[in-house]
Chain A
């Protein structure tokens, strides 16, 4: 079982819609959770971090964390074509491990004009 799993997509939504990206993780002691956006040919850019259960909102982005279900999601409201990218979910393994941030394989999002 992969440590961090995401649907690879591609996920297509029309402009103005809500895009919902999901991620599950296997390590129950994971403490920190991140969403990165990666445009084609570019490096990942941190867009959201979340550390406690519940919702965290930042502009059009909302991250949701449910540690009991080992599930983290990212909602993008009022999706724009410029949101088209690959979204990477990342989970922080506790201190002491060489691999401190484990990435999912990413979900490719396309927002259709």
Chain B
């Protein structure tokens, strides 16, 4: 149980374009989903927390107009990187939490902006 999927697993896009990443909880309803970013050899950095049906809460320093988060249902959250630039290239990982305390991660999306 407690499976979280992400799509796509890898994406390459050109600078200035937008990329959408989907995160789904497959076998449980996720009241809260989280989006993280991880640069090579660095620790996870929380970008935002989203609750189903409400606006996401962004961490300090994360531009909400650039990283659009939508949590339309209890099983789906999306992250859209708008007007991507090479410095946005990173490993984006979502996680989902059920009604308990445990948080399960998706497999991640590796974004490369050329």
Contact = CB atoms under 8 A, between A and B. Distances in A.
The bracket for how many chain B residues form the interface is 20 to 34
Contact of A99 (B43, B49, B95, B97): B49
Interface in A86-106: 88, 90, 92, 98-101, 103-106
Chain B interface mostly: strand
A43 B5 CA distance: 11
Contact of B102 (A44, A49, A99, A105): A49
Interface in B41-66: 43-44, 46, 49, 57, 59
B107 interface: yes
A34 interface: yes
A28 interface: no
Contact of B93 (A43, A51, A98, A99): A43
A75 to B, nearest CB: 20
A99 B97 CA distance: 13
Given A99-B59, A101-B34, A43 B46 contact: no
Contact of B101 (A43, A88, A92): A92
27 contacts: A34-B102, A36-B105, A42-B108, A43-B93, A43-B105, A43-B106, A43-B107, A46-B2, A46-B102, A46-B103, A46-B104, A88-B43, A90-B103, A92-B101, A98-B57, A99-B46, A99-B59, A100-B32, A100-B97, A100-B103, A101-B34, A101-B95, A101-B103, A103-B43, A103-B44, A104-B43, A105-B43
Interface of A: 31-32, 34, 36, 42-46, 49, 51, 88, 90, 92, 98-101, 103-106
